[in-house]
Amino acid sequence: MTKPRAELYGAPPMLLVHGGAGVIRRDMDADAERGVRAALAEALRRGHESAAAGGSALDAVTAAVVALEDAPYFNAGHGAVFTHDGINELDAAIMDGATLRAGAVAGVRRVRNPVLLARAVMEHSPHVMLAGEGAEGFAREQDIALVDPDYFRTGRRWRELQAARRQANRNEHVDHFGTVGAVALDARGRLAAATSTGGMTDKRWGRIGDSPVIGAGTYANAACAMSGTGWGEFYLRTAAAHAVCMRVAAMRQAVGEAAEAVINEEIPALGGSGGAIVLGADGALAMPFNTDGMFRGRIGNDGEPHVAIWPDEHI
């Protein structure tokens, strides 16, 4: 379990990303680890380039999450896990801390970059959350890129589904979860958060996890932005992202203290697990997790990406 961290890294723009906390050490070979680290660094660079070119915190998290969705290593976009019925159902959310505007989509099957659809929901619809075929109809109206469902399919995730089905048949616990996300602080002091996921391997019955739920896996206000990754049901029950950001905004807790209390205390006390990336308006950050590892990274105003996976790596 990582210790609370709330260090100040100086002036914005700042960007944190995660690629999931469902990593298990024995699953990783050296090639995969190199690929994951390169993909995290690339996502950080893409977000930073956007910010360096004058983009907002919203632009930075959008660019970073698109890069993570497009990479095959993470459970979002291309590379998403399969549902029980062998399809990919994708969820995403985005929130602008400065205005409390938010957009989210759940259960889409043809949207190449769900975070772009979530942003279109926020900016071009009167709604916050759209689901399923209706959300895809909105995507068509907005000229959001649609792809054949086969685009999301990777051999690795298909094999994971087969393994999960075998485990489920033996009543073993299946905990293949993962997510990607980003939080950013821009030069004007605005915060934003975004999260995207394929959900839980072998999920059934149209399950919606925490990622597309504003307040659970994703939240941002004027003082704090969080993107979570973990066992979504526990993030929903604790309204985890809102709980962390309300501790920072209304209870004046430090970012590290707030993140530790919710992610490493409240959620494990209920039986859940996972991690999060949290950024404060003062530049304080926290990346708590209580799993074996969390794909994560940070980039500051020097434009140098720093990435990590295991608990003993400090970035």
Residues annotated as catalytic are 179
The identity of residue 253, as a single letter, is Q
Q: What's the token pair of residue 29?
A: 């070979």
Indicate whether 236 belongs to the interface with its own copies (CB under 8 A).
yes
Look-up of token digits 């794909």 = 295
Binding test (CB under 8 A) with its own copies, winner from 40, 144, 224, 243: 243
Indicate whether 215 belongs to the interface with its own copies (CB under 8 A).
yes
Binding test (CB under 8 A) with its own copies, winner from 270, 304, 310, 313: 270
CB of 256 to its own copies, least distance (A): 17
Binding test (CB under 8 A) with its own copies, winner from 237, 257, 268, 282: 237
Q: What's the token pair of residue 23?
A: 């990593």
The C-alpha atoms of residue 194 and residue 228 are separated, in whole angstroms, by 9
- Closest to 203 in 3D by CA, of 82, 108, 109, 114: 82
154 class by beta-carbon count within 10 Å (0-12 exposed, 13-18 middle, 19+ buried): middle
Binding test (CB under 8 A) with its own copies, winner from 11, 24, 32, 100: 100
Instruction: State phi, psi for 301 to the nearest 5 degrees.
Output: -75, -5
Indicate whether 268 belongs to the interface with its own copies (CB under 8 A).
no
CB of 236 to its own copies, least distance (A): 4
- Closest to 80 in 3D by CA, of 147, 171, 34: 147
The C-alpha atoms of residue 228 and residue 16 are separated, in whole angstroms, by 12
The C-alpha atoms of residue 69 and residue 56 are separated, in whole angstroms, by 20
CB of 70 to its own copies, least distance (A): 25
Indicate whether 135 belongs to the interface with its own copies (CB under 8 A).
yes
Indicate whether 86 belongs to the interface with its own copies (CB under 8 A).
no
CB of 100 to its own copies, least distance (A): 5
C-beta of 31 vs 205, nearer to its own copies: 205
Interaction site with its own copies (CB under 8 A)? 95, 100-102, 106-107, 125-135, 137-138, 203-209, 213-216, 219, 232-233, 236-239, 242-243, 246-247, 250-251, 270
